[in-house]
């Protein structure tokens, strides 16, 4: 069957009443969550993981994917109206979106963001449709040695592109790898780091760690935070852009689609990175760059298109290589593994319903997002009047009930609380917990591939330098390490120079 026949099969899966309902629920929940600063898609998906046990794997991933790309637009609303990004990728939108709102043009800003997100997302999914099968065929030639270095490079790159310094992100990744080895050795059966506790013989469950570090940690931060959205909301008015707005936005939307689609495919790429790249590109090509930061609609159209495109093409490395590019996709990888499905080169052949069903659901989800966010934006704005602490407190109760229903274990509830306190402390201490969760999920896969590589080579490490893919991965690893070290040294020198100038 050719690609478009397989896509047709995917639509037959996505258009079933159950899956169609979950697409709608996913994008609706995502939009609402994107509105609420402090929660975001990572915490929401972590909280909802136990509830996906009751549905088919394809249905679960369809809903979780909808939450992810739906939250990208939800964060736009608070960025434009309050200069308060509900999601990290929406930070760039505050530069010009909020200025447009202060000028009485909040409606066109939100409207062009919705249109750009729809176009960028649709073009990105078309790119996935065309490239996924060729990439998966190439990936089938990847053996245990290549997969070992690819997983290691994925962890390294996420740490490098983390929101905190590289040493801190790398430390978090090491903690995640340490947590991944807790439990019985898969080959020898020897207990590792269990401290004599029989409950830990099976190791930590990804759902427990994710719900604790992201879910409970973020909820505690929201409950104990003094930050609340305040002040009168600007009037939204008509959300449909006029002809001049559409003309000004054509180029940024086209360029944002390309930039976001490419960055989303790169391990370690993110919606924030694609938004920043798009914003920088628009300033560079603009006839009058001084308009940016003062309410230029191009500064909203380009980044919003890019972050939505990146959020959807980021599924390429996840589904074809089994490599999540960020914390949200790491949780989706964990959700699939809980259902007994391991993403990778064989996913297309072994589970075509999941692969093509998810791809088709993205086409549908983008249409639903456009239909929801143009006429109903006023309804979503009303949600901003609900206090985040009230929602977080209610969500905490739901989280603990969800944890208990996984295995009906009180020990699991204590573990979630412990990881929640860890996540809360990491947040307050300035550490990014995303590399921890990503390394935990990939750690088991990396260890398994590493040990199989050594079995193939009779214990010789030379197997890791015997193919072009391996050499490229090693070179990239060295480059990333070298660049991070150079950047740290340059930063230290600037700090010393600034101190010397201040003293003089």
DSSP result, 295-354: --THHHHHHHHHHHHHHHHTHHHHHHHS--SSHHHHHHHHHHHHTT---STTHHHH-HHH
Higher pLDDT, 69 or 222: 69
Q: What is the structure's pLDDT at 389?
A: 67
Listed ranges 95-99, 221-225, 489-493; the one with the highest mean pLDDT: 95-99
Determine the length of the chain: 504
CB 210 within 8 A of CB 49: yes
Among 352, 311, 293, 316, CA closest to 117: 311
pLDDT tens figures, 407-449: 777 888 888 889 889 888 888 888 878 788 778 877 877 888 8
28: Cβ contacts below 8 Å, ≥ 6 apart: 70, 372
| Structure-token pair, residue 27 | 């994008």
Q: What is the structure's pLDDT at 22?
A: 92
77-97 as b/e: b if 16+ CB within 10 A: bbbbbbbbbbbbbbbbbbbbb
How big, in percent rounded to 5, are the helix, strand and coil portions of the chain? Answer: 75, 0, 25
Model-level pTM? 0.71
81: Cβ contacts below 8 Å, ≥ 6 apart: 98, 101, 106, 233, 234, 236, 381, 384
For residue 302, pLDDT over 70 is answered with yes
Higher pLDDT, 494 or 502: 494
Q: DSSP class of residue 212?
A: I
CB 225 within 8 A of CB 428: no
In the predicted model, what is the mean pLDDT of residues 237-249?
83
Helix (H) and strand (E) counts for the chain?
A: 22, 2
For residue 277, pLDDT over 50 is answered with yes
Sign of CA dihedral 376, 377, 380, 385: negative
Q: What is the structure's pLDDT at 5?
A: 82
In the predicted model, what is the mean pLDDT of residues 81-102?
74
Mean pLDDT of the residues in the chain: 78
Q: What is the structure's pLDDT at 18?
A: 92
- Over pLDDT 90: what percentage of the chain? 3
């Amino acid at each position: 069957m050719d690609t478009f026949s397989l896509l047709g099969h995917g639509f037959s899966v996505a258009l079933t009443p159950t899956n169609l309902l979950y697409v709608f629920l996913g994008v609706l929940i995502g939009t609402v969550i994107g509105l609420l600063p402090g929660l975001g898609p990572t915490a929401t998906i972590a909280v909802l993981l136990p509830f996906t046990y009751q549905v088919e794997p394809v249905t679960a991933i369809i809903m979780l994917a909808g939450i992810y790309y739906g939250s990208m637009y939800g964060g736009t609303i608070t960025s434009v109206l309050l200069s308060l990004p509900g999601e990290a990728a929406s930070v760039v939108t505050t530069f010009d979106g909020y200025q447009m709102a202060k000028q009485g043009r909040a409606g066109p800003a939100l409207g062009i963001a919705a249109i750009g997100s729809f176009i960028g997302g649709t073009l990105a999914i078309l790119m996935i449709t065309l490239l996924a099968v060729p990439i998966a065929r190439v990936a089938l030639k990847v053996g245990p040695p290549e997969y070992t270095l690819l997983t290691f490079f994925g962890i390294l790159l996420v740490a490098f592109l983390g929101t905190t310094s590289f040493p801190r992100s790398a430390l978090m990744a090491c903690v995640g790898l340490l947590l991944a080895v807790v439990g019985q050795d898969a080959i020898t059966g020897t207990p590792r780091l269990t401290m004599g506790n029989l409950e830990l013989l099976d190791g930590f469950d990804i759902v427990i760690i994710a719900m604790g570090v992201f879910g409970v940690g973020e909820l505690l931060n929201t409950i104990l935070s003094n930050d609340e959205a305040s002040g009168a909301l600007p009037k939204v008015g008509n959300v449909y852009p006029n002809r001049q707005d559409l003309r000004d936005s054509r180029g940024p939307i086209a360029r944002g689609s390309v930039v976001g689609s490419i960055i989303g495919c790169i391990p370690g790429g993110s919606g924030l990175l694609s938004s920043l790249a798009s914003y920088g590109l628009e300033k560079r090509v603009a006839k009058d760059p001084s308009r940016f930061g003062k309410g230029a609609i191009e500064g909203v159209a380009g980044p919003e298109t890019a972050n939505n495109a990146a959020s959807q093409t980021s599924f390429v490395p996840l589904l074809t290589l089994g490599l999540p590019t960020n914390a949200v996709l790491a949780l989706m990888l964990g959700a699939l593994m809980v259902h007994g499905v391991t993403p990778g080169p064989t996913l297309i052949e072994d589970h075509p319903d999941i692969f093509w069903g998810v791809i088709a659901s993205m086409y549908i989800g983008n249409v639903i997002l456009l239909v929801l966010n143009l006429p109903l934006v006023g309804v979503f704005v009303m949600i901003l009047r609900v206090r985040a602490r009230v929602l977080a407190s209610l969500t905490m109760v739901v989280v603990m009930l969800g944890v208990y229903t996984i295995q009906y274990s009180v020990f699991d509830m204590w573990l979630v609380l412990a990881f929640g306190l860890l996540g809360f402390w990491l947040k307050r201490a300035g550490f990014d917990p995303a590399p921890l969760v990503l390394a935990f999920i990939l750690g088991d896969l990396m260890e398994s591939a590493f040990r199989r590589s050594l079995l193939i080579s009779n214990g010789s490490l030379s197997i890791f330098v015997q193919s072009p893919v391996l050499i490229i991965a090693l070179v990239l690893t060295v480059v990333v390490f070298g660049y991070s070290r150079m950047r740290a040294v340059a930063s230290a020198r600037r700090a010393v120079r600034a101190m010397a100038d201040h003293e003089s």
